[in-house]
Amino acid sequence: MPSLFTKIMNREIPAEIVYEDQFVVAFKDISPQAPVHLLIVPRTEVSGLSTLPEGDGDHQHILSAAKKIGEMLHLEGGYRVVINQGPDAGQTVDHLHAHFLAGRPLGWPPG
């Protein structure tokens, strides 16, 4: 069964896609926690960071996409990139993804 995010990437479920390349797709979170709240999702389905195979480049592609999105959206004030892994971190969708948050001061540490 394709994941919810794969269905979004395949345009089977609507979402506002703001960036895509060969490796990742980034779209607006349905329940934004900041003025800018995107999900950066590798095209390859991996359930989470803990199951990312050793040597896989997905994590690098997530980070390079985040850098490009920050430049594209002129977020000179900064942004935060977060990966929730597992139930203690609040992961709800089992397809590796990073949250890209910006547009307001972001408290630290996160809750």
Among 1, 11, 22, 31, binds ligand 5GP (CB under 6 A): 31
Q: Quick one: which segment of 18-26, 61-69, 89-97, 100-108 binds ligand 5GP (CB under 6 A)? A: 89-97
Q: What is the dihedral of CA 88, 91, 95, 98, to 10 degrees?
A: -100
User: What span, in angstroms and rounded, lies between the C-alpha atoms of 89 and 103?
Assistant: 23
Compare residues 22 and 31 and give the one whose CB is closer to ligand 5GP.
Answer: 31
Q: Is 91 in the site for ligand 5GP (CB under 6 A)?
A: yes
User: What span, in angstroms and rounded, lies between the C-alpha atoms of 45 and 60?
Assistant: 15
